[in-house]
Structure formats: C-alpha cells, structure tokens
Structure 1
Amino acid sequence: MPVKGNITVTVIVDNNALPGFAAEHGFSLWIETSGMRMLFDLGLGPAFRPNVLQLGIDLRTMDALVLSHGHYDHTGSVREALEAAPHARVCLHRGAFTDRWSIRGGTAKPTSMPESSRNAIKALREGQVCYALGPTELAPGVWVTGPVPRLREFEDPGGPFFLDTEGKIPDPIEDDMSLWIETPEGLVVMAGCCHSGIINTLEFITRTTGEHRIAAVMGGLHLSSASQERILRTAGELKRLGVRRVVTSHCTGEAATEQFRELLACPVEGSLAGMRLTLP
C-alpha cells in the first residue's frame, strides 16, 4: 500500500554540513511519513546530538530505528536514541554485530559497531528487535530489504574490508540492507552505504515489489574509491532503470556525484547535515 502524502527526510549526520551544523564521517537520517517516524542509521557519534538539537527533532516520537549495517560510522549513537525512545522498534540484520576491520597500508582498523550500541540493542525486550532475514515491512508501505543478492559482477563491497586483522578473510558485509518506501509516484529508496551495490539493491527491490518506477534514490553508495569503469556503469544502469531523482550522501564520493550530474538526465544533488528534503 503506497504511503500517502510526501515523505520528509532530514539529514542529521553526513560528511559535509550546512553552516551551523556539525559534520563527521558518518550518516543518519530522520524520516517522517504519514504513518511513522524513524531513524535510519546513527552516525559516528559526536555530531548526532548537537545536530538533533539544532534541528529540533524530538527523538521521543521515534517509532523505529533501522540500521543499514554494523559499521561504526552508522551505529555510534544507538544508546542515546534508545534512551530517548525506549519503546521504539529496532530493525537490523544479525550480522551487524560482527567483529570486522578495514585494512589499508597494512594497518587493521576496527570498523565494528561500538560496544555501547550492541549492549543497548541486546538489552531490549523480546519482540522489540526485528532481525530482517528478507524483505520486512515496518509499516504500511515502508520496508527494509534484508540481505541483498549480489548478482552484478561489477559491484563489490567497496573497500578493503575483512573479518580478521591479517586480511585473510574478506568481509562481504552480508548484513548490508536498504530501506524503501512505496509512494503513488513510485519507489523511494534509502541506502546507508550500499555495500551490496546500488544496482543490485534497486533490481532486488523492483523484483520484490513488481514496481519499476523509481522516484528517488538517496544515501551513501560507497563509490568514493570506485574505479571510473564502475562509476560509469553505475550511472548507465541508473539511467536504464529510469531513476528520477538522486541524492548522494556520505561515502558516495564527490567524483561519482559530479559524474552522475553530467551523465544522468534526472536531478542529482549531494546531501548535507542540516538539510530537509521532501521526497519524491
């Protein structure tokens, strides 16, 4: 059932910010529909609280908290959010609790969910946490994908991610998932980092729903370290799929955003912490 009315999306945390707002390497959205209010990801940590206060968001009204995956820059303020809204439903994949690292230049950097965030989720009552094993409806017309099949060979997790500190066990980030909202104008898709690949994600959602109109795509697409070939192929597929609006965030990268502006016929813009958008 399509969500009635417009969807309001407020960018709480992003790599760049409007004047007066804090920026950090992280991502968090406040999403309001006619039926619910939710947080999608929780940033790295320091920027979340001051930006929430500056935006005048009342976290006590939150119905649901969705975590796109278990990386630290998307899960930093879970405890604070749940202290404000202790009855909110939490949706994530069980793999979000995985211990993991990124390895660059021979140095292993922990990228796992902070311990305080894990403990806050694990302390919730039975039935309050939804572990998405597949497409899961949070409210009428509001869904999370669960794990996304990786069918496109040119899309990979987007970085040197591993399940060990020696770099011997690659981390496919199987807990990665996105969110979609059904509207009369088509699908509005929100991605956290989209380690599954945005084309894999969009094609999975359209197969699942039977709806092929994509009104808007917003979020991190993890193309900041992508090859030119991947960026061009992604742009070509977004055009083929008929995406009508693109809002890039966080890990998409300025190069990919600029090329999308040049190559796509639809509006393309980069998001900033402090922005409020109406979608689609």
Structure 2
Amino acid sequence: MSLTTSIQDAGAVILVDNAGLPGFATEHGFALWVEADGMRLLFDTGQGGVLSANARRAGVRLALLDHLVLSHGHYDHTGGLEEVLHQSHNCMLHCHPGAVSPRYAIRNHDVRSVQMPREVMTVLDRFPQEQLHWVQRPVLLNKAVGLTGPIARKTVFEGSSGPFFLDQSGHRPDLFDDDLALWIRTDRGLVVCVGCAHAGLINTLMQAQRQNDGMRIYAVIGGFHLVNADRSRIDLTVQALQRFAPDLIVPCHCTGADAVAALRQAFGDRCRPGAAGMTFQLTGAAS
C-alpha cells in the first residue's frame, strides 16, 4: 500500500487502561480515542466498566464516533462494544472474523474463557451489515489512516503470546490470526497503535512500515503483551525497537512492569508509561 500524503492534525487520549491519571477509573483493558484529520476513531473498548465515565471525564463524545476498530477478540478489548454502539448508531465497525471465536486461557489446569462476551456477539449479530467490515487485508480508513490487517510473523523471538487456546482442552493454540493494528501517517512519522500486539510488537511495526513505503516510526502506543515474557524476549524486543528509533513509546495495559522498566532504561524520557486520561498531540513540531 503506497501513500504519498500525511495528515497535519491528529491527537489521541487513552480512555481505558490498567493505570489511570487522577480522576480516571481503571480496569484491566485498553481503549484509545483518536482524532485524525477530522475523523473520530475508537481503537478497542476495554471491558466496558469504565469507558463511558472516562470518556466524559476526558471530554470525548462517543456519540460522534466515525469508526470503531477492535484489535482482537478478547473480552478486555471488546466488552464495551455494546455501550459504544448504544451511543453511536452510525459508526463503521472494523474487526477480523476470528474476533468472535471461542478463546481460553489455561494455566495450571485452570481453564478461563477470555473470548468476546456473548452479549457483545449478540449485538454484532444485530448490527447493520452495511456498517460492519470484516478485516482480512490492509484497510485504508482515510487518506492517511489505515489498519494493518492480519500481521505476518517475521521475527524469530516473538513466538507464543501466552497460554491461550481455541479449545478448552488446550490442544489448539491461539495464533491470534485476528490481531491487527492501527497506523496514522503524520508529518512527524508513522504512529502505530496496538491493542495487545499478540502478533509481536516488532512484527507489527514492520508490517505498518511495509504498508507505508518504509516511513519511519514516530510513535507506538498500546499494550505490548510482554507481561509474561522472559528477560531474553524483553531484551530482544527492546534492541529491535531501538533500531526503529521512535520518538515516543507509550506502553500500556499488558506490557508488564519488567518490560516497562527495560523500555524506560533504554529510551529515557521517550518512554511514557500509559494511563487512562493521558493525551497526545501526534502532529506538528516535535517537542
């Protein structure tokens, strides 16, 4: 996908995260509000318990939403879908067909469902089909905002994302074929937004660059899912990220304390751990 234009006006605010600024509620989940060149977009919805209240606190009107994107089908990214669609009737909804698959986390023989809540799937069944877009390839939302589509696995160190399976017996590993990311082409460079980066953070950044003629990565925001990663994978991720040399790194949600510490040591002030209520100006002169 070759683009020759970038937007001059874009900003974002984290609406759901495990951490929060004073006055913002928290939960295990992620949601990011993006305004880009007049387009209003919500990337994930958290579990649904704090999204609306945090949106009001941040001055975000969910009713004005143009596009809703689900990064993948876990409950902590899709649970607020019903509430969002109750407020916004005309938005376009984007997700991979695999987002509605049954999914389980299995640890020490403890089986826990982590799939999209059933009530949310019921809402999807009733949602106008002309507003529902099943994402199975790269998608352009406007002149300089797009979705990666399914992410190719290229790195050798970004393997399993954790003890996730498509069946309760643990015989079918969840490969997260539905995992996708959002990218924004700005005058500073490429901003990449990830939900959990189950396909691997570096795989995701490489794919976003391939779809944008190798444009430099200016910023990456979201969950990096390194919370259960060993030290070797964290170090390899940090080393690879250093080669991209982003100006802004905002680890959220599932990144994990050890990974955040490694990122802060490597990138200093360029790493700003995320929290609900944090806002970002993504265009204009770099600060």
On whether the aligned pair clears a TM of 0.5, the verdict is: yes
Tell me which moved more, 256-265 or 191-200. 256-265
Q: Verify the 8 A CA contact 1:3 1:34 in the aligned structure 2.
A: no
Aligned equivalent of 2:80, options 59, 77, 80? 77
In the alignment, the residues of structure 2 paired with residue 271 and residue 64 of structure 1 have an alpha-carbon distance, to the nearest angstrom, of 22
In the alignment, which residue of structure 2 is the partner of 1:12? 15
In the alignment, which residue of structure 1 is the partner of 2:176? 173
Is structure 2 residue 192 aligned with structure 1 residue 192? no
Measured on the aligned residues, the alpha-carbon RMSD in Å equals 1.3
In the alignment, which residue of structure 1 is the partner of 2:279? 276
Q: Verify the 8 A CA contact 1:246 1:266 in the aligned structure 2.
A: no
SS in 2 for 1:134: coil
Aligned equivalent of 1:140, options 136, 143, 146? 143
In the alignment, which residue of structure 2 is the partner of 1:259? 262
In the alignment, which residue of structure 1 is the partner of 2:100? 97
Identity of aligned residues (%): 40
In the alignment, the residues of structure 2 paired with residue 158 and residue 110 of structure 1 have an alpha-carbon distance, to the nearest angstrom, of 16
Is structure 2 residue 207 aligned with structure 1 residue 207? no
Q: 5+ unaligned residues in a row in structure 1: which ranges?
A: none
Q: Verify the 8 A CA contact 2:14 2:33 in the aligned structure 1.
A: yes
* Residues 123-172 of structure 1, C-alpha deviations (whole Å, 9 max, x = no match): 12222111111110111111011100111121024210001111111111
* Residues 64-117 of structure 1, C-alpha deviations (whole Å, 9 max, x = no match): 000000000000110111111111000000000000100112111000001121
Is structure 2 residue 166 aligned with structure 1 residue 163? yes
Instruction: Show structure 1 runs of 4+ deviating over 2 A.
Output: 1-6
Tell me which moved more, 76-85 or 44-53. 44-53
Is structure 2 residue 248 aligned with structure 1 residue 248? no
Q: Verify the 8 A CA contact 2:24 2:54 in the aligned structure 1.
A: yes
Q: Verify the 8 A CA contact 2:48 2:83 in the aligned structure 1.
A: no
In the alignment, which residue of structure 2 is the partner of 1:60? 63
In the alignment, the residues of structure 1 paired with residue 127 and residue 178 of structure 2 have an alpha-carbon distance, to the nearest angstrom, of 20
Could you tell me the TM-score, scaled by structure 2's length? 0.94
Is structure 2 residue 219 aligned with structure 1 residue 216? yes
Could you tell me the TM-score, scaled by structure 1's length? 0.96
Aligned length: 280
Q: 5+ unaligned residues in a row in structure 2: which ranges?
A: none
Q: Verify the 8 A CA contact 2:196 2:224 in the aligned structure 1.
A: yes
